[in-house]
Structures are given as C-alpha cells and as structure tokens.
Amino acid sequence: MPGVKGRNQWNRKEWYSLQQKGSLTLESAAALPLYFLAMVMLISMMDIFRIQTILVSALSQSAKELGMYAYSIDGESKSPVGAVTDAACTAYASAEIQKRIKEENLTGIVGKQAGITLLGSKYQNGIITLKANYLYRSPAAVFPVLPVKIKAAVSAQAWLGYEGDKYGSADEGPGEEMVYVTDYESVYHTSEDCTHIKLTVKYVGIQNALQGKNQYGNKYHPCEKCMKGHGNDRFVYITEKGNRYHSNSSCGGLSRHVRLMKKSEAENRSACSRCREK
C-alpha cells in the first residue's frame, strides 16, 4: 500500500508540473503575436514619419519656388512654369518630389514613387497650397493588411511684386488697399516697417533684462513660452518695445510670419496703434 500511495503522489506532482508548463506555453503563444504586432506598429510609425518628413520638405521647397513665379504671366520666358495655375502647381510639385525621392526607399507606399499624387494642390488668393496623397502598407507586416490613406500638405504666400500690386497696393491707389497681418495678432498694419512686425532683437545679460526697462518704461518679465526651465540662463533676448525676455531667439514672441491681406478681409482685426502714429 505505501508503494501505491507514493506512486499516486508522484503522479500528482508530475501532473501539476505538466499543467504549469502547459500554462506557460499558452501564455507565450498569446504574448508573442502581441509583441510582433507592437513591433510592426512601431516600425510602421517610424517609416511613416520618415516618408512624411521627405514629402513635407519637398512640398515646402516647391511651394516657395512656385510662390516666386506667381507674378509671372502666360508666356513669361523667365518662369519655368509660366503662369501659376492649379495644374502648374500639381505638375511642378510632382516633378520636384520625384527628383527628391528618386534614391529613397519607399517600399511602404503602394506603387512607390508612382503612388504619390498631388490631387487638391491649388493656387488661390495669393496662396500656394500643395497636397500629397498616398496609400501606405507596412512593409514589416507578416500578414496582408489593407493600406491606409495618408496626406501631407503645405502652404506658402506667393510673391505679389515689389509693390504688392498684383492684388492691389498696400498704399491707396486704383486697387484695393492691402494691409500686413501676422498669424496671432488681432490687428492689421499699414506699414511693413511697423515695430510690431519688424522687431529689433538684442542679446543681453539677464541682469540687464531684470533691471532695465523698455522704450515705454515698462519692466521686462520672463516669456511664458520659452523661459520655462531656463531660470539659470545668463543671457537672454529682448526687444526695445517688448516687455518679455526670451531664452530662444526663435521663440514665437520674437518672430513674426507676415503676409499681405486685402483690408476688406481683415474686418475682424483692428488697426495697429503704432501704424496710426506714423
């Protein structure tokens, strides 16, 4: 009898051991697909980011170049595209993209280079808008998956001539009056030399900024955008008429993206007080 009891105990131990091994095998079988899925997603995201960077760079350069040619008319010999039209935007940007991606590995794009289209690109109201569309399928996918549609788009202000007179002059004249605006200000400017949009930036010691005052007698305060985490900086950037000091010369508080706009389209903006003083 003791021998039978011992065999039963051994059988139970062996059964529990086999059960634990089987459980680990099931867990591994369930975890491995999730791991591979996570890796495929990570690789795909990195590949999409790489492709988008290439496309946006090519689109931006093409939009800037088209903006320089926007003042041309039909038959203009100095312009490689003639008059800038929707069709010209599509054709020019498509050709430039093909040049830039010629040596790139684009296996994730369905159709590779030929799979990128510029549908929706246009030139309207002095703005060049370029849009690239393509279908993306992860090259790292083990099983066939449906492609995903991805877009990239950029815009650029067209050159309006030395006097800005393609759509009217910034001065009173036969065309509609044009004014200068920036992205985040609630005012419009009648002079491109207004100190609100043409800033004079100085690089000074932090003590000079803390103890000094601007042209209006106001003290300087730390910029809410760029001074976080830079309390120990020894040198900062200031302007004569601003009231903030900055750690970064490219801070939005120091830079202005200025563009021309018809005054009738700036109805929701008020006139700049500094421009009125001139």
Beta strand 122-124 with 148-157: parallel, antiparallel or unpaired? unpaired
Domain identity same for 181 and 140: no
The last residue of one of the domains, among 122, 155, 188, is 155
- Please give the pLDDT value at position 126: 78
Taking the C-alpha atoms of residue 93 and residue 146, their distance in angstroms, rounded to an integer, is 28
User: From the centroid of its chain, how far is CA 101?
Assistant: 19
Q: Is residue 7 part of a domain?
A: no
The last residue of one of the domains, among 155, 184, 218, is 155
Lowest mean pLDDT among 41-45, 196-200, 245-249: 196-200
Domain identity same for 65 and 181: no
Average pLDDT, the chain: 75
Taking the C-alpha atoms of residue 88 and residue 121, their distance in angstroms, rounded to an integer, is 9
The last residue of one of the domains, among 155, 190, 224, is 155
Domain identity same for 113 and 228: no
Q: Is residue 206 part of a domain?
A: yes
Domain identity same for 142 and 32: yes
Domain identity same for 148 and 268: no
Domain identity same for 137 and 218: no
Give the best-scoring range by mean pLDDT among 39-43, 57-61, 70-74, 159-163.
57-61
Structural domain for 61, as ranges: 25-155
Domain identity same for 226 and 117: no
- Please give the pLDDT value at position 68: 78
Query: 32: which residues sit within 8 A by CB, 6+ positions away?
Result: none
User: From the centroid of its chain, how far is CA 139?
Assistant: 26
Please, which pLDDT band fits residue 277 given cuts at 50, 70 and 90? low
Domain identity same for 197 and 246: yes
Taking the C-alpha atoms of residue 259 and residue 126, their distance in angstroms, rounded to an integer, is 10
Please, which pLDDT band fits residue 11 given cuts at 50, 70 and 90? low
Compute the average pLDDT of residues 205-227.
88
Under a CB-based contact definition with an 8 Å cutoff, are residues 92 and 123 in contact?
Answer: no
Tokens read off for 115: 């799979």
Domain identity same for 150 and 33: yes
- φ, ψ for residue 239, nearest 5 deg: -120, 155
95-151 per-position pLDDT tens digit: 888 888 877 778 888 888 788 888 888 888 778 889 988 898 887 766 677 888 989
Q: Is 260 helix (H, G, I), strand (E, B) or coil?
A: strand
Domain identity same for 94 and 195: no
Specify the residue for token string 């706009």: 261
- Please give the pLDDT value at position 259: 73
Specify the residue for token string 């601003």: 242
62-87 per-position pLDDT tens digit: 888 888 777 665 455 556 666 777 88
With a cut of 70, say whether residue 25 has pLDDT above it.
no
Domain identity same for 29 and 148: yes
Please, which pLDDT band fits residue 183 given cuts at 50, 70 and 90? low
